[in-house]
Structure 1
Amino acid sequence: MDPVVIVGAGPQGLAAAAHLLERDVEPLVLEAGPGPAAAVHEWAHVRLFSPWPELIDGASRRLLEGAGWSAPDQGYPTGGQWVSEYLAPLAAALGNRVRYSAHVVGVGRKGRDLSVDSGREDQPFVVHIETPEGEERIEARAVIDASGTWSSPNPAGADGLSALGERDAAASGMLTYRIPDVDSRCSGRHTVVIGNGHSAATAVANLARVARRDRTTRITWVLRRGQVGDTFGGGQADELPERGALGQRAKRAVESGLVRLVTGFRTDRIDMVDGSVIVSAEDGRRLDPADHVVALTGFRPDHSFLSEVRLELDLRLQAPRRVAMEVDPNIHSCGSVAATGATDLAHPEPGFYIVGAKSYGRAPTFLALTGFEQVRSVVAKLAGDDAAAERVELDLPDTGVCGGAGLFDEPEQAVGCCTSAPQPISLEPAAG
């Protein structure tokens, strides 16, 4: 029988393979990178705010422990430690069921393009891949897309498109889209961080440590929104303590004057002038010349290789429609979200599922726990165990904040739904 093809050998892709093996269904994991969890390798220096027990999938644990592996049970690993101590051993346990340097460039139904109904569901999927040896086609009984969003960062431009000059700045290396590995090279320099999420808070908190040692180091933190809102997270109300603490570290860096916070700044252009980068807003404001710009404005899914698969996606988030109803920051008012399973992740194309961070589309706050529950449910569905697929085996931790309840630029005091709004702080006026 054809295997279930999994796109991506990251945390959710490898977990899906472990669950399939546990149900005697043969998986085949296709990873574009040269090794397991290639995307996680790129942020190996970043410490996760989830503790070890929440970063290990149940079926994966059982597979590894059967081979004598002992799970780390304390602390908060870096991305590098997550790979070396768990994900790489898991990939090794799966053996030749994981193929590397196998770039998926297309998924479809054998002999049927997107428009053809007749006999469609009776045909296997055909997965087109490119490898160092050339092109290849693989037939599959089902496809699980766990490719993530890491390769598709959102641009700095406020309209969802690259700001004028942004691509040139990125090509020069003066603008990057990843949390910087902070070291002495940041000392005495001016770094602009654009973004409102956990990645931006991490970058700001890390840079602030450098600024404490060298007060000539300058950090400007740029928010598109006109108010601070939930930028600093839920603090002690966050059910993931390290996530709450992260926001508070960033907040202290702002309050202490180490970081200059600029709000309502919607990036329009990024110019390289005399070895510096100058970021300008739609309203004409310009930031002081910077040595480096870090755009941490989230990610978006890449559906380009799914053009022949019948998808049902939300127009705003580009996530499966039923998932988007739960996680849409425009309408979702409270910090807690429900776990999502096979029913939520299904598309009009039977046997095809998008899981992991990509299932949230452009929405933030995805946790590893979410993905592990998703693949458990999806694999149960593929194995014919409808009862297990429908069962919810996860309660997600509350963020302790409210978000999305109201207008993009509403006054801060108007925010409020399930908890009180974060207390306002004094902000230095934006650059003129």
Structure 2
Amino acid sequence: MTLADLAMPTLRDSRLDGLPVAIIGAGPIGLAAAAQLHERGIEFAVYEAGNTVASSMRSWGHISLFSPWEFLVDPAARRVLEPTGWGAPNASRLPSGSEVVERYLVPLAATDALAPHITTGATVEAVSRQGMDRTRSSGRDSTPFVLRILRSDGTRDEVLARAVIDASGTYATPNTLGSSGLDPLGLPGVADRVSLALPDVLGSERDRFAGKHVTVVGAGHSAANTLLNLVELARQGAGTTVTWLIRNRSAVRVLGSEDDDLQARASLGARIQQLVEAGEITVVDRFEIAKVEDVAGRIRIFGTRDSEHVDTDLIVNATGFRPNLDLLREIRLDLDDIVEAPRALAPLIDPNVHSCGTVEPHGFAELQQPEPNFFIAGMKSYGRAPTFLLATGYEQVRSIAAWLAGDLASARAVELSLPATGVCSTTNAAGCC
């Protein structure tokens, strides 16, 4: 797709008149998209699967973010909030996920500009074109989108839109425990003892983890946060023991982050290494999970090598996340074969070739799909790649809103100033940052 193909948004057919832009997800990026569209005078409708806004962020609200408030508030959202008397938090302070929700996202969603257009308890099960599947080519750009919605009361209906921004995130679709990308054999038999990433082990889920042998699977920052909290639980006399199971020889993204400008993230590696050396975390490296099974009430994790196994009481799946593409089966997509991100964005973020977390400015041109007026934004736009920052998503939706408004100069003038991450995700760290 060339810039000539992106000359003007195709929103002016009469069949599209009066229809809103549908935003999937009421997290930070979805609400930022709503604020950007509001400023442009473009009608929008936000659909959130949870019963409250930012439901995924609430799930890991006990975790502190790496970014300070300076990078967490979208400029358009700030402009929507300020007339309400909203007070901006201290720009240099690191908030928890819950603080971001309660001090920023909840007040934003409650403003007169956004509140009438947000529907919670509304899961978007599928997106298509009205009266045509993905095989039909004629007239796609002038045909409304149709979104099938599952309501919290169990009923289903369909709504129409002239454009769609999918900002539904990836937290609800974690990667698998199996090194093959498939669920390990035997998982259904122990699934009740496998936790999603970032469980609240020091708070609401303390009783579940206290006194147990817990194995954390994964080599990224989610795993590191959980390991730190489990060690603290053990130090409180809970009798918890901690094993860290990783696929590679070293957890490079965590342990090789000294040059990270986000100091809270940079310090993780040193803290984890100290705990490993002190024997508070037992590391099992180069372990590829093939099968799990219940053995006398415990979980036995089998590796791909003969007789290789780890016994544990609980597993925390911190292997990362992947986009849910099932709802987009009838949408024409152009995604990278490896990371499942928009193809034009993938080279900037592919952890196999992109050794640093720095991301070049990008906007509508990199995010638009072959399906006219359909965009993937936010964490979901990164596919399976890690280290997404909210500031990146805010610039994405600013550019998309400008393009939908026909302001091509603003849409193309993407700017992004991010702290260098210093995070290498390849095994060859020599050329990193």
Q: Aligned residue for 1:178?
A: 197
Q: How far apart, CA to CA, are the structure 2 residues paired with 1:137 and 1:227? A: 48
Q: How far apart, CA to CA, are the structure 1 residues paired with 2:308 and 2:164? A: 47
DSSP 3-state at the match of 1:53: helix
- For residue 225 of structure 1, the aligned residue among 241, 248, 253 is 248
Q: How far apart, CA to CA, are the structure 1 residues paired with 2:376 and 2:189? A: 33
Displacement of 1:396 in angstroms is 2.2
1:169 matched to 2:196? The reply is no
Unmatched runs of 5 consecutive residues or more in structure 2: 1-17
1:47 matched to 2:64? The reply is yes
1:159 matched to 2:203? The reply is no
DSSP 3-state at the match of 1:225: coil
Q: Aligned residue for 1:38?
A: 55
Kindly provide the CA deviation profile for residues 269-304 of structure 1, in whole angstroms up to 9, marking residues without a partner as x: 112222211211111354442121111101111111
Kindly provide the CA deviation profile for residues 310-356 of structure 1, in whole angstroms up to 9, marking residues without a partner as x: 11011111110011111111111333222321111011111100001
1:26 matched to 2:43? The reply is yes
1:205 matched to 2:205? The reply is no
* Aligned residue pairs, count: 408
Q: How far apart, CA to CA, are the structure 2 residues paired with 1:146 and 1:267? A: 31
- For residue 195 of structure 1, the aligned residue among 210, 215, 218 is 218
DSSP 3-state at the match of 1:246: helix
Kindly provide the CA deviation profile for residues 53-77 of structure 1, in whole angstroms up to 9, marking residues without a partner as x: 2111111111011111111124222
1:339 matched to 2:358? The reply is no
DSSP 3-state at the match of 1:322: coil
Query: For the Cα contact (< 8 Å) 2:220–2:251, is it kept in 1?
Result: no
| Equivalent residue runs for 1:353-368 within 5 Å | 353-368=375-390
1:92 matched to 2:92? The reply is no
Displacement of 1:212 in angstroms is 3.2
Unmatched runs of 5 consecutive residues or more in structure 1: 407-413, 420-432
Displacement of 1:143 in angstroms is 0.4
Query: For the Cα contact (< 8 Å) 1:202–1:250, is it kept in 2?
Result: no
Q: How far apart, CA to CA, are the structure 1 residues paired with 2:146 and 2:211? A: 54
Q: How far apart, CA to CA, are the structure 1 residues paired with 2:337 and 2:189? A: 30
Displacement of 1:234 in angstroms is 1.3
Q: How far apart, CA to CA, are the structure 2 residues paired with 1:389 and 1:274? A: 60
Q: How far apart, CA to CA, are the structure 2 residues paired with 1:215 and 1:115? A: 58
Q: Aligned residue for 2:413?
A: 391
DSSP 3-state at the match of 2:29: helix
- For residue 274 of structure 2, the aligned residue among 252, 265, 273 is 252
| Equivalent residue runs for 1:370-389 within 5 Å | 370-389=392-411
Q: Which runs of 4+ in 1 moved over 6 A?
A: none
1:295 matched to 2:317? The reply is yes
Q: How far apart, CA to CA, are the structure 1 residues paired with 2:110 and 2:79? A: 14
Query: For the Cα contact (< 8 Å) 2:167–2:380, is it kept in 1?
Result: yes
Q: CA RMSD in A?
A: 1.7
Displacement of 1:135 in angstroms is 2.3
Q: How far apart, CA to CA, are the structure 1 residues paired with 2:306 and 2:45? A: 52
Please say which of residues 94-103 and 126-135 is displaced more in the overlay: 126-135
Q: Aligned residue for 2:5?
A: none
1:69 matched to 2:69? The reply is no
- For residue 257 of structure 2, the aligned residue among 231, 234, 238 is 234
Q: How far apart, CA to CA, are the structure 2 residues paired with 1:352 and 1:214? A: 52
- For residue 124 of structure 2, the aligned residue among 82, 88, 104 is 104
DSSP 3-state at the match of 2:51: coil
- For residue 83 of structure 1, the aligned residue among 101, 119, 130 is 101
Query: Partner amino acid for 2:353?
Result: I
Q: How far apart, CA to CA, are the structure 1 residues paired with 2:368 and 2:26? A: 21
1:115 matched to 2:135? The reply is yes
Q: How far apart, CA to CA, are the structure 2 residues paired with 1:217 and 1:130? A: 40
Query: For the Cα contact (< 8 Å) 1:313–1:321, is it kept in 2?
Result: yes
Kindly provide the CA deviation profile for residues 106-149 of structure 1, in whole angstroms up to 9, marking residues without a partner as x: 21222222111112211121222122273222221110000111
Displacement of 1:158 in angstroms is 0.6
| Equivalent residue runs for 1:301-312 within 5 Å | 301-312=323-334
Report the TM-score, using the length of structure 2 for normalisation: 0.90
Please say which of residues 179-188 and 308-317 is displaced more in the overlay: 179-188
Displacement of 1:169 in angstroms is 1.3
1:134 matched to 2:155? The reply is yes
Q: How far apart, CA to CA, are the structure 2 residues paired with 1:187 and 1:286? A: 27
Query: Partner amino acid for 1:260?
Result: T
Query: Partner amino acid for 2:144?
Result: P
Report the TM-score, using the length of structure 1 for normalisation: 0.90
Query: Partner amino acid for 2:146?
Result: V
Query: Partner amino acid for 1:168?
Result: G
Displacement of 1:391 in angstroms is 1.3
Aligned residues with identical type, % of pairs: 45
